Structure 1
Amino acid sequence: MTMGFNESQSAFAAALLDPGLPLPQGITTARGVTDPLRFAVYRNNVYVGLTTALGQRFPVTKRLVGSEFFAGMARTYAADHKPATPLIIHYGDDFPDFIAAFPPAASLAYLPDVARIEVAWTRAYHAADRLPLDVAKIAAVPPERIAEMSLVPHPSAGLVRSDFPAGTIWSAHQGEAVAPVTEWRAEAVLVVRPAMHVEIRFLPPGDAAFAACLLEGTTLGTAAQKAFAAAPDFDFGSALIGLVGLGAFSAFEAFEGKLP
């Protein structure tokens, strides 16, 4: 029985990432001969392409575990995770979650968060260009309207909150020599590209809680309440001006519509 085009396409894609599946029906050489060995070579090339893409997107993660371990981890991931789009730059968006559930990496509890920083970095790098919000526009908002206002995240902005010094570990591996991590503590890392270069900024606990709420679309009033709960010494004005100054937002608005 001959399969339709969609069935053939699905069978071909499934067999590419599953060595246990047979050569799909209808796949032959130019001479019309089935050749499982040639298909196996092609399958291996696909794996190599996907694992290479992961290695390029997660260089620090790869460096932390070593090339051999990373290759095995990446190949296991690729077996169950096909690219969702033709753009290979997006491949591996959920690789950090996979690492978190990958038993051989369990002893490296910080590794998924380091990988999350790398995801945020590549997203920021490829994000749409947009002018960041001008601090002067915030200063012009009437004080009585500040609490109801919400901010529009910059397309490149991302926040990674970790129970480990994931940002310090990532930063330490940006050069040939790796500086030791002297303080083992939780960190919050803001990743943003307001201009040409991706920037990594460390936020204190109150500012991190504040930023997390604002990036989710929460109003400034509600975000401030969450921030004060996380850090009683939270400084609303400094945090707001600081985050806007870093380029984390591109506009602001209120429930009734955009503010003047």
Structure 2
Amino acid sequence: MHRLRELQRDFSRFVLQESQQLPTGVKSMGLSAEQRLAIYRNNTRLGLTAALRDSYPVVNRLVGEGFFAGLAAAYIKSYPPQSACLLAYGAHFCELISGFAAAQSLAYLADVAKLEWLWHEAYHAADARIMSAAALAQIDPAAYGRLVFKLHPSARFIASEYPIARIWANNQADDAGREYIDLRNGACCLLLYRPDRQVEIDSLDQAEYQFLRLLAVGTTLSRTVETVLTDHPDANVPILLQHCLLKGLLTDFYLADV
């Protein structure tokens, strides 16, 4: 059993190009061990590259097939799969892009990749029953400050210096490259969530973004309101909370201990 585990380890390292040392114990059977393992290595690389393209179609469109293949090869070497589920593969692609020398001229690319992965996560997130406004009516108004809300499992957030939502929308299969986008004017705060079958990308102002981010990490309503109004005195908190309800972002709540 121990020898089998070592063979599996060495096989994995060779196929994922972590090692050039051929595993011992591989029988030729018509092909040399090196030729046989090269087939596995090539098929693995192609399969993982295809999985990355499926998760990052906009990055692929922006940089082209050849450049993307280079990104994928670097990613596969730096981040070998840890699970048999390919849906989970690619979570660190934006980090790879941030440090990829040939991509430094595309300053927005890492943020676009992050947006695509958050879209991927939101799409595959669990469903949840939406909380009704009537549920809040049963709470004593004196206890409102202790409310802690739970957001929909699909809710994801990203802020960028670049108009990444417009770049993403402008590079969908049916609407590619039709709009000129000025990268100098487009900082954005975005919410991604899946209220039904489709992922929505909403642009938020800074007060709404801060409000939702605080709620998402379990901050009480009183502390959230205090923080938001300190940073954004003109924020309309009741409207912000109403928007959360209308969007179907809130799924549950509880009262925090004093």
54-63 or 140-149, larger mean C-alpha shift: 140-149
* Code of the aligned partner of 1:176: D
* Code of the aligned partner of 2:180: P
Change (3 A) 1:106 1:5: same
Quote the Cα distance in structure 1 between the aligned partners of 2:99 and 2:131.
38
Report if the CA contact (8 A) 1:96-1:113 is conserved: yes
Change (3 A) 1:247 1:27: farther
* Code of the aligned partner of 1:109: A
Quote the Cα distance in structure 1 between the aligned partners of 2:137 and 2:162.
35
Do residues 87 (structure 1) and 85 (structure 2) align? yes
1:23-42 equivalences in 2 (<5 Å): 23-30=22-29, 34-42=32-40
- The aligned residue for residue 43 of structure 2 is 45
* Code of the aligned partner of 2:189: A
Quote the Cα distance in structure 2 between the aligned partners of 1:28 and 1:224.
68
Query: How much does 1:233 deviate?
Result: 2.1
35-44 or 135-144, larger mean C-alpha shift: 135-144
Query: May I ask how many residue pairs the two structures share in their alignment?
Result: 255
Change (3 A) 1:224 1:105: farther
- The aligned residue for residue 217 of structure 1 is 218
- The aligned residue for residue 52 of structure 2 is 54
Quote the Cα distance in structure 2 between the aligned partners of 1:229 and 1:111.
33
Identity of aligned residues (%): 33
- The aligned residue for residue 70 of structure 2 is 72
Report if the CA contact (8 A) 2:146-2:221 is conserved: yes
Do residues 199 (structure 1) and 200 (structure 2) align? yes
Name the SS of the counterpart of 2:20 in structure 1: coil
After superposition, the C-alpha distances for 1:137-192 in whole angstroms (9 at most, x for unaligned) are 33553332222211112111111111221112112222334222257221111111
Change (3 A) 1:154 1:8: same
Do residues 181 (structure 1) and 186 (structure 2) align? no
> Which consecutive residues of structure 1, in runs of 5 or more, have no partner in the other structure?
none
Query: How much does 1:20 deviate?
Result: 4.9
Query: How much does 1:63 deviate?
Result: 1.1
Quote the Cα distance in structure 1 between the aligned partners of 2:257 and 2:19.
58
Report if the CA contact (8 A) 1:205-1:230 is conserved: no
Please, what TM-score do these two structures have when normalized by structure 2?
Answer: 0.90
Please, what TM-score do these two structures have when normalized by structure 1?
Answer: 0.90
